[in-house]
Chains A and B, each alone.
Chain A
Amino acid sequence: MSTFTKIAWRNITRNQYRSSLTISAVAIGLASLVFLKSFIDGADQQMVENYTSLLTGSIQIHKTGFQKNMGLEKSITEANSIFTALRNITGVEAAAPRVKDYALISSPESSAGILLYGIDPAAEKKLTTINQRLRRGRFLTKEDKDKIIIGKDLSDQLKTDLGDKVVLMSQGADGSLAASAYEICGILDAGAEDIDKNLALITIEAARDLLVLDGKISEIAIAASSLNDIDEIARSIKAKIDINKYEVLTWKEISPMTYQWIQFDQVFTGLILFIVLLVVAAGILNTILMSVLERTREFGIMLALGTKPQQITSMVAAESFMLAGIGVTFGAALGSGLVILLGITGIDLSAISSALNSFYIGSVIYPRLNIADLCVYAGIVLLTSVLVSIFPAKKAAKLSPIEAIRHI
């Protein structure tokens, strides 16, 4: 260890109380930041997972323009070739065909406008968790040509129950009036208003019959093996199909609001990082400045003996680096430990579950540690500490030896 490094290290241990306080400020600041980011990441990840696994899927394929302006004229006719292409794409875990259209649902008591899904029950079970959200009744089977599942809020609105009949009305692909009656076999409680109030499920065959679709479908919904690779998987799909005819949309494009919410979280985290950095910088600056002022005479002697100003600067900067380094180490360990522990047990937020559920977030949130984020934050805190020390370091280096020696 060089003599200047020794001096720097020993100066830190000279005033243990002050050094401990500074190290604690850095450690707690970084730990808080790591925990907050992990909490937000965990909540966001849960939100996306729940949202995509509930009904939407990670990626959807439609005829071009369908997402913007849904209509039966934009049906997919070559579904088989697309399914064949999807089988060879890494990251596509499951895919299911769907028919989608707006319809009117009526009961003797009431009626409502809904979004009608025609699904392949077996394929849908591999793709989403909608089948697990039944409050009452049972899920559809392939043979259910006249059965329907509706949301609990819709059921309440129509004043219907299991076994009751409802009528679906829409316009067929050939322009004819489409109408048929269905028996309610299941009532959903998905915890999401757009499903519980506005959705009805029938089999894909029943939907094709109703809407005169003759083997066509509206969309192919896809579950990806990893939400982190979603963009790459979407690119792979686009490379395999005719992108002039079809649109390939990730969940970010299907639900821009959800995506924007996540982006807002990143901005929020950035703001917190800035505030933490300010606190850390103030702590380090205060400590180093006090230390430099206390050692004015000592620096004067060192300069008088022939120490170069840049050696003084480096020594003071080294002190700051060491203080921050120790703080960052403890902070990283504390933050990571907390996140790992709570990542196993979860953080129970049942008290605000209704608010969380509306964002597709469960009552228990599991923080997710991102090592890259941890390294970046630690690096930023370390760099900030060193930069902040430059002012007192330069101040020490510019001392007049004779005036410094006379300093009391």
Chain B
Amino acid sequence: MQKQTIISIKDISKIYREKNSRVETAALDRITLDIQEGDFVAIAGPSGSGKTTLLNIIGALDNATSGEVIIENISLSTLSPSQLADLRLKKIGFVFQAYNLIPTLTALENAEYVALLQGMPKNERRKEALSALKDLGLANLENRKPGELSAGQQQRVAIARAILAKPKIVLADEPTANLDSKTGSELIDLMKLMSKNLNITFIFATHDKMVMEKAQTLIQLHDGKIIA
């Protein structure tokens, strides 16, 4: 079955100019690529290659200096900040490098946070959150705060939070960076399974070889350009 293009990136550039200076740095330089629905994509490259910048632009957290990002036939440049926030809420899930759970909420409350913002009824989101945590091996830990969970457990909660909102796309920025190799590998396998079962497009920014090996599509960046 032919997959549809869910994200279309056309000639994206991101230029940073230092304050009170004419010095410009191109974090991204005319990037063009299409990402298919349900794909498991790794954007790899050394530090400073532009991986996170590209991910942030796809995730509508940052604006490109030039070029266009189209998600499900909607150009991000046509949306207002409020509409971009809405897009993030409804279509994009985030798994950050540093888990970034809300420290005052329990694992369960963190997991259901985005579903709460979407307006999912309490009983439904609670049920789904508990189920998601159980699937991720966190049964009986739902009432613990992030400070009481290990790094791997916190990352699983972050994944549960991203998935529960039923996004089309999940953007994961170095999700295994703070995990041991075994835990990291388990999590990637879990996400790959979710991608397959739920038809979610996963896009990773990573320099972890294990993640690159497990990806269906590998995009390599260097100095803001796609080299492979």
Contact = CB atoms under 8 A, between A and B. Distances in A.
A298 interface: yes
Contact of A402 (B62, B90, B117): B62
A305 B94 contact: yes
A161 B183 CA distance: 107
Interface string B87-111: 0111000101000101111000100
B117 A305 contact: yes
Contacts of A326: none
Contacts of A298: 100, 102-103
A310 to B, nearest CB: 11
B88 A306 contact: yes
Given A401-B61, A405-B96, A306 B102 contact: no
Given A305-B113, A402-B61, A402-B62, A3 B105 contact: yes
A308 B116 CA distance: 12
A303 B114 CA distance: 11
A3 B56 CA distance: 27
Interface string B35-57: 00000000000000000000010
Contact of A307 (B90, B94, B117): B117
Interface residue tally of chain A, by bracket?
10 to 19
Contact of A3 (B86, B88, B89, B109): B109
Interface string A367-408: 000000000000000000000000000000000011001000
Given A301-B96, A305-B94, A305-B113, A11 B104 contact: yes
Contacts of A308: 85
Interface string A298-329: 10011111111000000000000000000000
A309 to B, nearest CB: 8
Nearest to B117: A306
Secondary structure at the A interface, as helix, strand, loop or mixed, is: helix
A308 B100 CA distance: 18
A211 B176 CA distance: 110
Interface residue tally of chain B, by bracket?
20 to 34
B85 A303 contact: yes
Nearest to A306: B89
Nearest to A301: B100
Given A305-B88, A305-B89, A308-B85, A14 B104 contact: yes
Contacts of A240: none
Contacts of B113: 3, 305
Interface string A202-231: 000000000000000000000000000000
Given A6-B109, A405-B96, A305 B114 contact: yes
Contacts of A302: 102
A11 B145 CA distance: 13
B114 A306 contact: yes
A305 B118 CA distance: 10
A94 interface: no
B30 to A, nearest CB: 21
Given A305-B113, A305-B117, A306-B86, A7 B104 contact: yes
Contacts of B96: 301, 405
A306 B85 contact: yes
Given A6-B105, A305-B94, A405 B100 contact: yes
A307 B116 CA distance: 10
A297 interface: yes
A142 interface: no
A297 B97 CA distance: 13
Contacts of A3: 105, 109, 113, 116
B88 A301 contact: no
Contact of B102 (A7, A303, A401): A7
Interface in B101-133: 102-105, 109, 113-114, 116-118
A87 interface: no
A135 interface: no
A307 B100 CA distance: 14
Interface of A: 3, 6-7, 10-11, 14, 297-298, 301-308, 401-402, 405
21 contacts: A6-B105, A6-B109, A7-B102, A7-B105, A10-B105, A14-B103, A297-B100, A302-B102, A304-B59, A304-B61, A305-B88, A305-B94, A306-B88, A306-B90, A306-B114, A401-B61, A402-B61, A402-B62, A405-B61, A405-B96, A405-B100
